[in-house]
Structure 1
Amino acid sequence: MSFLERKKKILMILDEFDSLSVMEISEKLSISPATVRRDLQDLSEEGVLQRTHGGAMKLDNLPLVAFNKKQTANAGSKQEIGKVAAANVVDGDTIFMDCGSTVFAMCAHLKKLSRLKIITNSLPIVAELVDVPGISINLIGGELDKERRAVHGDMAVQHIDNFHAVKAFVGVDGVSVKNGLTAHSEKESQITKAFLRNAEQVYLLTDSSKIGKDAYVKFEALKTIDFLITDTQLEPTLKMEIEEQGVKVLQ
């Protein structure tokens, strides 16, 4: 059983039982206690469960991290990535922007454009750019997630499918050559998939800490993106592996 398969099953049984010991997880999944401990540590570092003495427990807000918490993580790298991403936007573009904090970092650098159309599910992006002359915003409709300050759900996906953009700027919780794009949340992954299928070019924005890592939900292959924008801390071997898949890495 692969780590991703084990991860999915661990989260599923924690969702059912709320709290379990290492031995209980070991017995239910037929894997060694040592493997369970390693997996629980990795999942705890991803922020999707809480380690306890001798086991783990479910978080009330299991897969999602509030926007303001994500915004402060690796803030310096996100600002640099946002600046590089914004440099790929030109006057007259229509672009998709998702609700990720790294994508939000583009906003300060988009204000200089004189004509831009943004289609987004992010309330912080709307608040940041709504009064900027020359920028028009199409706010995606659907169910509001107060913690993430974003709109999700089936109606949001249908909204996106009614539009076409020259470029999409999206984030992920994990990306690797083997498992492609991964996320902690199915509802966020569905929004990202809708952006990807309705854009001519796709820019993936993520700091290097998420590259070579896998999250809970696998939703797209690496080849579905055109550009990966990350920080200068990316290991050269990882950069080479990604570019061998036809993805251009920008730093």
Structure 2
Amino acid sequence: MTFQKRAHKILELLETYGEVEIRQLATKIGVSEVTVRRDLTSMAANGLLYRTHGGAMKISDVIKPVSFANKAEVNLKAKDAICKRAAEDIAEGDVIFIDCGSTAFRLCQFIKNKNIKVITNSLPIVNELQHSAVTINLIGGEVDASRQAIHGTMALEHISRYHADKAFLGVDGITAEGLYAGSEYEAANTLAMAAQTNCTYMLCDASKIGKTSYLKFNNLSIVDILVTNYNGPELNKFQSKGISLSPVTV
């Protein structure tokens, strides 16, 4: 297959998913991961996509959030492994924040039988946890239809009224220099939840490690525990910043 045909297929997959991994592209196109890496580097140089640590994103999605439905379908195995590990630290009676990220959403399947209270701004999480053992506190404010989440001034005020034992949050990117988000609304909610909890868990699949995006909104000081399937040199940098690591395998 020629480079032009591979590039066309890559752009089609990016249009569908918003963000893709190298392994995913290699499987769907039928070429080696080495070839995919070379193609992504060339396409990024020509402004056709945004290169991430583990794959690529649509250029438009660097400054515009990917819809929740698309993001929820990416890296499912890694997200499930991360959330299964995180759920092990949730005790009966805990009050927890869960944000609107697609990784945090996968936590639902592992906590349905726990007698806990969940405070969230995610509509999919509310829907998923209905009729379970979990008590739900839905944050109020303006609805973002694309992200299926609630944001805004009233949402921040709502969060400030509660205190949680733990917060399970996600970001668009994390490096030794800080945390990155796709919008100011999501960054504000992340900061608000982290300020109202005893312990902040950051749930990040490998594609988020070493990745920057539209907005750097904070340093790593709000992160207590990083749960990730990434196993590379960045982990030493995170540890040097005082972050506890909880690695998982996929």
Into which bin does the TM-score normalised by the smaller protein fall? 0.7 to 0.9
Q: How does 1:156-195 map to 2 (within 5 A)?
A: 156-178=155-177, 180-195=178-193
Kept in 2: contact 1:181–1:219 (CA 8 A): yes
Deviations along 1:29-72, whole A, 9 cap, x unmatched? xxxxxxxx7494563743342xxxxxxxxx7x951111110011
Partner of 2:104: 103
Q: Which structure is larger by alpha-carbon Rg, 1 or 2?
A: 1
Partner of 1:199: 197
Kept in 2: contact 1:122–1:150 (CA 8 A): yes
Superposition RMSD in Å: 1.8
* Percent of pairs with identical residues: 41
Deviations along 1:116-171, whole A, 9 cap, x unmatched? 011000011111111113x1110000000111111011110111011111100000
Amino acid at match of 1:126: V
Q: Could you tell me which of 235, 241, 246 is aligned with 1:245?
A: 241
Partner of 2:135: 136
Q: Which stretch of the first structure deviates more once superposed, 188-197 or 61-70?
A: 61-70
Kept in 1: contact 2:113–2:132 (CA 8 A): no
Partner of 2:118: 118
Distance 1:41-1:247 versus aligned 2 partners, 3 A rule: farther
Distance 1:48-1:119 versus aligned 2 partners, 3 A rule: farther
Partner of 1:16: none
The TM-score, its normalising length taken from structure 1, stands at: 0.76
Amino acid at match of 1:131: H
Give, in whole Å, the separation in 2 of the partners of 1:242 and 1:162: 31
Task: Report whether the alignment pairs 1:94 with 2:92.
Answer: no
Partner of 1:15: none
Partner of 1:208: 206
C-alpha displacement at 1:220, in angstroms? 1.4
Task: Report whether the alignment pairs 1:147 with 2:143.
Answer: no
C-alpha displacement at 1:213, in angstroms? 1.3
Amino acid at match of 1:222: L
Kept in 2: contact 1:47–1:63 (CA 8 A): no
Distance 1:161-1:40 versus aligned 2 partners, 3 A rule: farther
Kept in 1: contact 2:48–2:59 (CA 8 A): no
Extract unaligned runs of 5+ from structure 2.
Answer: 1-43
Give, in whole Å, the separation in 2 of the partners of 1:39 and 1:222: 32
Extract unaligned runs of 5+ from structure 1.
Answer: 1-36, 50-58
Distance 1:42-1:242 versus aligned 2 partners, 3 A rule: farther
Kept in 2: contact 1:230–1:250 (CA 8 A): yes
Partner of 1:20: none
